Every structure is written in structure tokens, then in C-alpha cells.
Structure 1
Amino acid sequence: MTRRKGERPVLRYLDRWSADHPVARSIAAGTNWFNAWIAQKATPFPRLAQRTGIPTARLMAIDQGDVIARSELEALSRAWSVSVNDLIASMPTADMVVE
């Protein structure tokens, strides 16, 4: 992020999961949890791979419903400014997370 000398950085608040969150509405309409977050945060796979360190091929596997490691969730939560627990809450089942 580039900023001018003396300028304060932009505050980034955590996005909070709830039943009326736009991602929840998208999931209710039939979108899978990962695609719903990608659409909400407007992050294409190449940019998300760069921000998280997760290879694009792995992101595609997660998109197709593969299990996800806790470390991958932590990287995604930092990239999207959302807590790991909120990401897990948006998944169809918490069993998708492997340690």
C-alpha cells in the first residue's frame, strides 16, 4: 500500500459473519461458501494466490469442495479481513477443516 508522508493508514475492520451477511445470502441462493467469499471480496484467483501464498491450483481444488487446512484458512482470513471462525461458520460443515 502506498501512502503519502504523514498520512494515516486506512483502517481495515474485520468483516463479521451473520445470517444477514451478503455471503450468507449468496450461500442461501446456492453459491458455495468459497465462491461466495471470493465474489464478496472481489479477489480473483491470481490475486488471492499472491496475498495468501496458496497456489492457484490449490485454490481451485478448495473451490471444487476439497478439504481445507487450518493454515490455509488463516491465510484466507488475513487476505479477506475476516476471522477464521467466521469462515468456518460459513462452510457447509466444519468437518471440511483439517489440522
Structure 2
Amino acid sequence: MVYRKGERPVEKQVVDYSPEHPVARTIADGDHWMDAWLGQMCTPWETITRKAGITRARIEELNDDAEPTGDEIEKLAALWWVTPEGLRRSIEDANAASL
């Protein structure tokens, strides 16, 4: 990251998932949970692989409705600045919306 003289870094805070969260609205519109998070957080698959240690093949499996492990949820939640419980709720919401 490049900082300019006098520039302050943007402080990131963990945000809890709620019905008002932008990802919740995307999921309500019918997007898959992974697509909703990727789109909202502008996260390329390569970034997930590098920062969370989840392989590209596994990301493809998650994108094709594979159930994430607890460890994967922890890593993705940290990457996307959301609580693990919030990420689980978003997955549950997406699964309920697809029924």
C-alpha cells in the first residue's frame, strides 16, 4: 500500500451482517453468497488464495454450493471484515433464498 504525505489510513472495522448490509440485499436479489461477498468486497479469487490460503479449486467448489468448513468461514470473515457468525447467517440466507 502506498501512502502519501499527510494521508491517514482508512480504519477498517468488523461489521456485523444484518438485513441492511449490502451483501444481504444482493443475496435477497438472488445472488449466491460467494458472489455477493466477492462483488461487494471487490475480492478477486487470487486475493482469497493469497490472503486466506484457500485454493482456487476450493473457491470454485464453494462457488458451486459446497459447504464451507469452520476454518474457511473464519478466514473469509477476517478477509471481509465481518463476524464469522454474520458470514454464516449470510450463507443461511442465501440457501433459504435459493429454495
Residue in 1 that maps onto 2:90: 90
Paired positions, count: 93
Cα deviation code 1:16-46 (max 9, x no counterpart): 2111211111111110111101111000111
Alignment partners' CA distance in 2, 1:68 and 1:76: 10
Alignment partners' CA distance in 2, 1:31 and 1:4: 37
Q: Aligned Cα RMSD in Å? A: 2.0
Matches within 5 A, 1:62-81: 62-81=62-81
After superposing the two structures, state which structure 1 stretch, 77-86 or 8-17, moved more: 8-17
TM-score where L is the length of structure 2: 0.82
User: Counting strand residues as a fraction of each chain, which structure ranks higher?
Assistant: 1
**Shift of residue 91 of structure 1?**
1.1
The reply on whether 1:11 has 2:8 as its aligned counterpart is: no
Q: Which protein has greater RCO, CA pairs closer than 8 Å, 6+ apart? A: 2
Runs of 5+ consecutive residues of structure 2 not aligned to the other structure: 94-99
Alignment partners' CA distance in 2, 1:38 and 1:14: 17
Matches within 5 A, 1:11-90: 11-90=11-90
